[in-house]
Amino acid sequence: MGDPRKFDPTFKGPIYNRGCTDILCCILFILALMGYFAVGILAWSQGDPRKVLYPTDSKGQFCGQVGSPLEKKPLLFYFNILKCASPLVLLEFQCPTTQICVERCPDKFMTLVKALRKEDDREYYKQFCKEGVDMTKVITRRCLPALETLKGGVVVVDNKTTFTDDLGQNINATDLLEASKKSNVVVEARAVAMRIFEDYTQSWHWILLGLVIAMLVSLMFILLLRCLAGVRVWVMIIMVVIVIGYGIFHCYMQYASLKGQAGSDVTIKDLGLQTDFSVYLQIQQTWLAFMIILCIVEVVIILLLIFLRKRLLIAIALIKEASKAIGHVMSSLFYPLLTFALLSLVIAYWGITAVFLSTSNEPVYKVFNTTECMYSRDTCNPETFNSSNITTECPDAECLFAFYGGETLYHKYLILFQFYNLFLFFWCANFVTALGQVTLAGAFASYYWAFKKPDDIPAFPVFNSLGRALRYHTGSLAFGSLILAIVQVIRVILEYLDQKLKGAQNKCAKFLLSCLKCCFWCLEKFIKFLNRNAYIMVAIYGKNFCTSAKDAFFLLMRNIIRVAVLDKVTDFLLFLGKLLIVGIVGICSFFFFTGKIKIVEDAAPSLNYYWVPILTVVFGAYLIAHGFFSVYAMCVDTLFLCFLEDLERNDGTADRPYFMPERLLSILKKSNEGVKTVD
């Protein structure tokens, strides 16, 4: 797999005299960014996020929009909600009945026939223009029937199972329930979202405190690894096993405490989808599932530790050296803040552009009618509809707002703009990640190839490495990021096709699609691994991406056994470190937000779902720990490649001494003849 590295007496670490690499890809990336900004400007000029925030009446007007004539009418009222049971609701996202904005929903059960009997009822009914529906309640700014379900599953409205409409027909409350469900398929999701939002407003300061604690624990963990790497690794392994063991014990206790309680034997399948997720914690099957998952994780970790016990010493030595390198290059610990800021900017730009693109359509009106009509569902203009021949041929036809679309050139290619937005998001996100990897690799390579550490380490290694990456290797970073972005977009397309084919009966197509998804998943993982090592070579030698990827791949293949033993074992140990930090922060947040810590019981906020801040803290703690440990992992990978090259370049003689520390030399049973390295 290629020729081993030759001894070069002039090589002292990352090359300073280098030239620009992959210039064509750099130009392409700049042009793509200019196009990305153009798409964003176009979307911002055409889009209207109000379409997401406010319900829309039959004329396409926004209910409750500040500064509009409907400012004091924030709620949407359906004239005949029974029409919302039509399949067209799901196809066109609009109920085929007249809808108006109202100041408040009706609070009386009333039909047109009933309203005409009394003058007071008639006056009350006028504010809703035409025929009323029934007693209603407010959900997601829509007026929907206030239905109730009695024992035995009987659905009632106004304590009645049926009611009479203005045509004298008896309507079953069950039909009203089905119409209500289809009138707004996101009602339950929005209700849950509102409760989650309320929980965030009550607990956001405690969540921030939990994330700060996670950051401090991560930083302390990294600093302690420098002094007590060997001890900390073994303590970390034992504590991970203990933390998971406690999780198994807690799940068993919850499972045992629910035994014999009424309703606890209900299965998750029978329970179905519930908006109140605390219901799932009241059944035994949930805790049994948690306990089984944790048991599997515990057994896997223990087995891996048993089979890899002889390799842990080598991995610990590499981690010790990485701890020492980070100690001499402390600024590397703060570099993830720059990566986080840039990724946040990329995600925010993509999200805002996506919203503006999705809301840049124009209102489309269609013909709706109850009888047969040749113009049914045709596009119409509400301003000229009454004077058209459609009303003559179809007297009951109405021109109602259907959905947002458009027939202009911009609207025809809107899907391509969305695709371009997604593709550039992947490209830019991968570029930011690549920039961080090259910067850290250059800094840690400067440490390794300094013969007398820390005297020979150049000043400001992180800053200098970042400058070299941006000045000379923007094209190489864009090249590697482009390859990865293409694979990721293909995976997104395959997931989209998989969702579309879920209802299909063609098993061959499903099998082929599953194989393609698996292959591209493996390809993405391989490209990430190859890119990471290629960026290390770019940072050291300043060559283009393809040459660096080839050199890194051949170097790893020439040392495939060491790659499997050292690199992957250290990755596993670092993963255990992240798992430990997340476990500690997660357990503490669980006891706090559930009010089980007596000292701070009164300080715990009252929440709809206590798992909302817990999961947020756990997820945030993982991201924080991953940010710190990503520096550690990049340090280990860089030192590992430098270590392999050191073995090929040098032989330990006075003319060709090893640059590795004494610790690694002793493990490999090698030494520098007549030369003392600094450890």
Question: What integer pLDDT is reported at residue 478 of this predicted model?
Answer: 94
- In terms of domains, do 378 and 482 share one? no
From CA 115, how far away is CA 112, in angstroms rounded? 5
- In terms of domains, do 480 and 437 share one? yes
- In terms of domains, do 618 and 588 share one? yes
- In terms of domains, do 258 and 396 share one? no
**Structural domain that includes position 524:** 23-42+188-356+412-674
In the numeric block, which tokens belong to residue 58? 């039959």
Q: Please answer whether residues 364 and 402 qualify as being in contact, where contact means their C-beta atoms are separated by less than 8 angstroms.
A: yes
155 found inside a domain: no
131 found inside a domain: no
Q: Please answer whether residues 581 and 221 qualify as being in contact, where contact means their C-beta atoms are separated by less than 8 angstroms.
A: yes
Q: Please answer whether residues 444 and 638 qualify as being in contact, where contact means their C-beta atoms are separated by less than 8 angstroms.
A: yes
- In terms of domains, do 294 and 386 share one? no
Mean pLDDT value across the chain = 76
183 found inside a domain: no
Q: Residues with Cβ < 8 Å from 337, sequence gap 6 or more? A: none
Q: Residues with Cβ < 8 Å from 342, sequence gap 6 or more? A: 432, 435
Summarize pLDDT for 49-101 with one digit per residue, the tens: 766 666 777 666 777 777 777 778 888 777 666 665 554 443 344 555 667 78
62 found inside a domain: no
- In terms of domains, do 547 and 511 share one? yes
- In terms of domains, do 352 and 394 share one? no
DSSP state of 566: I
From CA 201, how far away is CA 194, in angstroms rounded? 11
Q: What is the mean pLDDT of residues 105-122?
A: 64
294 found inside a domain: yes
Question: What integer pLDDT is reported at residue 26 of this predicted model?
Answer: 93
Summarize pLDDT for 570-629 with one digit per residue, the tens: 777 777 778 888 888 888 888 887 777 666 667 777 777 777 788 888 888 888 888 778
- In terms of domains, do 454 and 509 share one? yes
Q: What is the mean pLDDT of residues 2-21?
A: 77
- In terms of domains, do 525 and 625 share one? yes
Helix (H) or strand (E) holding 139: strand 136-139
Burial 620-630 (b: 16+ CB within 10 A, else e): bbbebbbbbbb
Most confident of 143-147, 289-293, 385-389, 455-459: 289-293
Identity of the residue numbered 404: Y
316 found inside a domain: yes
Among 405, 420, 436, identify where a domain stops: 405
Extended beta strands in 354-396, E state: 362-368, 379-380
pTM of this structure: 0.69
Going by C-alpha positions, the residue among 50, 29, 1 that lies closest to residue 559 is 1
Among 372, 387, 405, identify where a domain stops: 405
Going by C-alpha positions, the residue among 329, 317, 316 that lies closest to residue 13 is 329
Q: Residues with Cβ < 8 Å from 108, sequence gap 6 or more? A: 121, 124, 135
Q: Please answer whether residues 541 and 12 qualify as being in contact, where contact means their C-beta atoms are separated by less than 8 angstroms.
A: no
448 found inside a domain: yes
How many domains does the structure of the chain reveal?
2
Question: With 60 as the cut, is the pLDDT of residue 270 above it?
Answer: yes
Question: What integer pLDDT is reported at residue 396 of this predicted model?
Answer: 78
660 found inside a domain: yes
From CA 677, how far away is CA 657, in angstroms rounded? 9
Question: What integer pLDDT is reported at residue 527 of this predicted model?
Answer: 93
Q: Based on the number of CB atoms within 10 Å of its own CB, is 198 exposed (0-12), middle (13-18) or buried (19 or more)?
A: middle
From CA 539, how far away is CA 470, in angstroms rounded? 11
Question: What integer pLDDT is reported at residue 31 of this predicted model?
Answer: 96
From CA 172, how far away is CA 530, in angstroms rounded? 64
- In terms of domains, do 384 and 431 share one? no
Question: With 90 as the cut, is the pLDDT of residue 151 above it?
Answer: no
| Residue 20, SS3 per DSSP | coil
- In terms of domains, do 507 and 559 share one? yes
Question: What integer pLDDT is reported at residue 472 of this predicted model?
Answer: 92
Question: What integer pLDDT is reported at residue 479 of this predicted model?
Answer: 95
- In terms of domains, do 352 and 474 share one? yes
Summarize pLDDT for 505-546 with one digit per residue, the tens: 677 877 888 889 889 999 999 999 899 999 999 999 989 999
Most confident of 104-108, 493-497, 543-547, 648-652: 543-547
